[in-house]
């Protein structure tokens, strides 16, 4: 249970930092790429194995790590575009509603059982995510901009599902830091290529404040992935239960942080969503 709490807390820290990006006019792409490099270095510091690439490519989890590295930065970029074109609430709902994808795969691949109470809890959790995330009036997706919310939905679901499969079948516990470090390295390399193209095409300048922001973001980002994998590895609950608790808790904590530290207003819809989320967690864990 401690790993669920730690994963949620580090995700909440990420939320705070990302909220501050807009306040200080941080270039998200630049900060994101630096963040992945810092997360890569953090993995090197905590890994129990030497970072020998000739041996890493022989690991069973290597292909999955390559895929995840690409997905990490791609989904984050799609989330940023969704926020700009459709609103923050649409991006949040698309990301967190994707929990239904790993839940379905958990039932299909790992023979997890869904009783009536758990099914009701999962459905209630999805409704709670929508209600709690809905803060903007009129943040309805324009039909011509539906592509990015769809990409966020399936991309975030693919990340969670891939992590569960890798953790369950291919990733030894003593290689979690090495795996995390390599995954962040791939995300950094992909992002560096994108930045290089942007600099060449649009003459974008690298600014010191963006580098500093990336450094600050990188530390909690590393631990958010590390404890997410440890959470899946703990096997306290089935993955369908864990992902439901995890995503709902992140939305709840993020909402409370927004209220306490960013003076965001809580509507009746948000309050109902938080209440439903608490009831959903009770149902899926009993």
CA separation for the pair 210, 204 (Å, rounded): 12
- Report yes or no: 24 and 209 within 8 Å, Cβ to Cβ: yes
CA separation for the pair 224, 68 (Å, rounded): 15
- CA gyration radius, the chain: 19
pLDDT of residue 62: 96
Structural domain boundaries enclosing 268: 2-284
CA separation for the pair 11, 179 (Å, rounded): 19
Residue 285: exposed, middle, or buried by beta-carbon count in 10 A (0-12, 13-18, 19+)?
Answer: middle
The total number of structural domains in the chain stands at: 1
Name residues whose C-beta falls within 8 Å of residue 147's C-beta, 6 or more positions apart in sequence. Answer: none
CA separation for the pair 15, 222 (Å, rounded): 14
pLDDT of residue 256: 81
pLDDT of residue 133: 67
CA separation for the pair 230, 226 (Å, rounded): 6
DSSP string computed for 68-89:
HHHHHHHHHHHHHHHHHHH-HH
pLDDT of residue 140: 46
pLDDT of residue 138: 47
CA separation for the pair 14, 41 (Å, rounded): 18
pLDDT of residue 215: 95
Question: Mean pLDDT of residues grouped by 10 in the chain (286 residues)?
Answer: 90 83 85 95 86 92 96 85 68 78 85 84 83 58 67 91 92 91 96 89 86 94 92 81 84 80 78 84 78
How many helices (DSSP H) and strands (DSSP E) are in the chain? 12, 0
Written as six digits, the tokens of 115 are: 């009783």
């Amino acid at each position: 249970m401690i790993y669920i709490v730690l994963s949620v807390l580090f995700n909440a820290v990420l939320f705070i930092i990302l909220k501050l990006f807009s306040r200080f006019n941080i270039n998200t792409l630049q900060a994101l790429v630096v963040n992945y490099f810092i997360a890569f270095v953090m993995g090197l510091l905590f890994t129990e194995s030497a970072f020998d690439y000739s041996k890493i490519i022989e690991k069973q989890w290597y292909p999955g790590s390559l895929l995840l590295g690409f997905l990490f930065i791609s989904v984050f970029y799609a989330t940023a575009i969704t926020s700009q074109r459709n609103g923050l609430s649409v991006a949040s709902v698309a990301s967190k509603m994707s929990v239904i994808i790993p839940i379905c795969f958990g039932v299909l691949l790992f023979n997890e059982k869904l009783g009536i109470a758990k099914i009701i809890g999962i459905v209630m959790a999805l409704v709670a995510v929508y209600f709690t995330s809905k803060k903007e009036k009129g943040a309805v997706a324009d039909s011509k901009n539906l592509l990015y919310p769809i990409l966020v939905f399936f991309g975030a679901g693919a990340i969670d599902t891939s992590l569960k499969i890798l953790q369950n079948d291919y990733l030894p516990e003593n290689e979690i830091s090495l795996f995390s470090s390599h995954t962040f390295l791939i995300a950094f390399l992909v992002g560096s290529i994108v930045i290089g193209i942007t600099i060449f095409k649009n003459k974008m300048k690298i600014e010191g404040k963006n580098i500093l922001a990336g450094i600050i973001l990188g530390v909690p980002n590393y631990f958010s992935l590390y404890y997410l994998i440890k959470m899946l590895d703990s096997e306290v609950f089935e993955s369908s239960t864990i992902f439901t608790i995890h995503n709902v808790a992140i939305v709840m904590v993020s909402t409370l942080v927004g209220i306490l530290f960013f003076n965001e207003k809580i509507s009746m819809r948000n309050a109902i969503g938080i209440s439903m989320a608490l009831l959903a967690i009770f149902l899926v864990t009993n």
